[in-house]
Structure 1
């Protein structure tokens, strides 16, 4: 994405990276910042930034992940800010199956406007389409901002931390903690560890095999 901003906006690499981060933090997705401030064609952006030659060779494919997903009960969906073609490419390479649908960024529009995660309107619209009450929905995501928005809408939230290296001592501390928690609002004081878990996170896991161990009440 930094390369795209360099080429399309005529910035040096440091400025392009700073702009990418700023748009991501302010709008929740770099694409939204580009659309709103520069009139970027979203389809061109998505195609150019998700070519990623050699991606398949770099993906980790632990067999336990596919097995964990296969054992997980309930309806399962992929909700991604990436384009549909990219999602299909990744899922095919990983061998992940059993999803009712892949909801990619092209499907995240509300009244014609692009509304990717963490947009609350999109989350409400999605649940209405799926005929699913918020308290029955669980979002597993590696981005705290996405989890925060979902929690505000009444979803249960699981912070997936197993696919990123810790960037700071604080993040290392956040990774610790039991996997089984109630999802009432607020969660029980006994599981709240000040400074260790954001209030909008119901549980933290470091691998998909931990998902089935989670129990939610309320």
Structure 2
């Protein structure tokens, strides 16, 4: 790939720049279940079913709660993303710092997580210094990935041509949306398959600088 700086990298956060599976996702899932129990008046099993159903249907539990239950998104996000011991829960590859430093082009965080949590993760890992902007879910009017409206809100705000953007994600539905808009796509996954809308697959974001020529 030509080493120009007129490309823009859009990076997801959870399970793309750090591993949220061991500690953070279980914490969030539990907090969401408890929130749904309290605010919808259902038991734990039904709350779990609702959380999972909305995540599968809309790409984010939040969107289903807004659409069907008129939940205040800011209240929900604040209540479900409280981490008194976040530093101990983070699983992060330190070589990623050097990899991002080597990566040419502008870099933006595009996450379905709330801004306070996103900023905390970036600060604790030291990743924040390598990003030019942060787009958390409230910055795209609570239109989370894979909804095209959220992508378009970011592109419009940053005046970006999607054909000059590269989306780095662990989520295939989100990459499918990026590809529909004309972006290049990088899938962070240990899977052996590679769908046609994925341009490059890496096991870790650390590998991206050495693989960017494939784009």
- The bucket for the TM-score relative to the shorter chain is 0.7 to 0.9
1:56 aligns with 2:87: yes
Matches within 5 A, 1:23-102: 23-96=54-127, 97-102=129-134
Bigger Cα displacement from structure 2, 2-11 vs 79-88: 2-11
Aligned length: 182
Structure with greater contact order relative to length (CA < 8 Å, sep ≥ 6):
2
1:199 aligns with 2:196: yes
Deviation of the 1:61 alpha carbon: 3.2
Give the distance between the partners of 1:121 and 1:216, measured in 2 at CA.
28
Greater C-alpha radius of gyration: 1
Q: C-alpha offsets along residues 39-58 of structure 1, whole Å, 9 cap, x if unaligned?
A: 10111100000002222101
Question: Corresponding residue for 2:135?
Answer: 103
**TM-score normalized by the length of structure 1:** 0.78
Question: Corresponding residue for 1:166?
Answer: none
Cα RMSD (Å): 1.5
Q: Which segments of 5 or more consecutive residues in structure 2 lack a partner in the other structure?
A: 1-31
Give the distance between the partners of 2:43 and 2:171, measured in 1 at CA.
27
Give the distance between the partners of 2:75 and 2:157, measured in 1 at CA.
28
Q: Partner of 1:140: helix, strand, or coil?
A: strand
Q: Partner of 1:76: helix, strand, or coil?
A: strand
Dislocated runs of 4+, deviation >4 Å: none
Question: Corresponding residue for 2:188?
Answer: 160
The structure with the greater share of residues assigned to helix is: 2
Give the distance between the partners of 2:154 and 2:92, measured in 1 at CA.
29
Q: Partner of 2:213: helix, strand, or coil?
A: coil
Deviation of the 1:93 alpha carbon: 0.8
Give the distance between the partners of 2:195 and 2:49, measured in 1 at CA.
26
**TM-score normalized by the length of structure 2:** 0.79
Deviation of the 1:24 alpha carbon: 1.1
Deviation of the 1:7 alpha carbon: 1.8
Deviation of the 1:117 alpha carbon: 1.2
